[in-house]
């Protein structure tokens, strides 16, 4: 039924414009969560546009849906990624409650927009160290997310696992997932603007200034 919000038929657009918007029907809790999400996007410097008419074609989506659109693109098809949350689907299939989020990616379209340098980097990424980033300090989750993005922007392969806040558990996880290094951010690291990096093959570690690491 919600697909009418995205209908391209001119005869239906007046109806859609005069119809109630979907944000009039979400709960106060959902409004608060959505506001927090937008604040986090702002802090991360991620540009976005709110669209109350955006819908996805699959009925199992609930709560948030999204699209990633290539900026400054004149081509008709500029959407690279589309997806959303499906908070009830897994419970319906397995009787086990598990919230999830997913997306579909147009591989061919995505590759067509990459420059040669980026393509070469993706091809050779298996030869690069893989870093698992963990944060041990409460209320530093957003700062850690910012840190991971900065490292990615400097061509490091970094994955931030926000649920890991114990070093021993993080090491086990990293070894299972074939990470080569663990980046640990604790109170000392945050206060001194350093990172503790553990080499998982040699089991040695060093603490280094962040600015020195990204040179």
pLDDT tens digit at each of 215 positions of the chain: 455 555 555 555 666 667 777 777 788 888 898 898 898 888 888 889 888 877 777 777 888 889 988 766 555 557 889 999 888 888 888 888 888 889 988 888 888 877 777 777 666 666 789 999 999 999 899 899 999 989 988 889 999 998 899 999 999 999 999 999 999 999 999 999 999 999 999 999 999 999 899 87
In this prediction, residue 74 carries a pLDDT of 58
In this prediction, residue 208 carries a pLDDT of 95
Whole-model pTM over 0.85 = no
In this prediction, residue 126 carries a pLDDT of 67
**Tens of pLDDT, residues 115-158:** 777 777 666 666 789 999 999 999 899 899 999 989 988 889 99
CA distance 118 to 214: 18
In this prediction, residue 163 carries a pLDDT of 86
Query: Could you give the 3-state DSSP secondary structure of residue 66?
Result: strand
Q: How many CA atoms lie within 13 A of 169 on its CB side?
A: 9
Residue 54 phi, psi dihedral angles, 5° rounding:
-70, 130
In this prediction, residue 75 carries a pLDDT of 53
β strands within 2-55, DSSP E: none
């Amino acid at each position: 039924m919600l697909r009418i919000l995205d209908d391209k038929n001119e005869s239906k657009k007046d109806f859609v414009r005069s119809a109630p918007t979907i944000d009039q029907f979400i709960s106060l809790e959902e409004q608060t969560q959505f506001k927090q999400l937008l604040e986090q996007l702002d802090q991360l410097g991620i540009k976005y546009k709110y669209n109350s008419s955006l819908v996805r074609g699959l009925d199992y989506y609930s709560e948030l849906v999204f699209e990633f659109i290539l900026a400054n693109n004149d081509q008709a098809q500029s959407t690279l990624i589309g997806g959303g949350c499906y908070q009830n689907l897994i419970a319906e299939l397995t009787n086990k409650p598990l919230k999830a989020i997913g997306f579909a990616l147009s591989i061919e379209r995505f590759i067509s927009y990459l420059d040669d340098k980026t393509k070469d980097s993706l091809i050779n990424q298996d030869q690069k160290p893989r870093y698992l980033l963990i944060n041990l300090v409460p209320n530093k989750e957003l700062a850690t997310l910012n840190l991971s993005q900065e490292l990615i922007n400097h061509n490091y392969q970094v994955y931030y696992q926000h649920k890991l806040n114990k070093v021993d558990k993080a090491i086990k996880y990293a070894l299972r997932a074939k990470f080569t290094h663990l980046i640990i951010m604790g109170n000392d690291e945050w206060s001194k603007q350093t990172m503790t990096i553990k080499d998982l093959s040699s089991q040695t570690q060093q603490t280094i200034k962040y600015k020195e690491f990204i040179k």
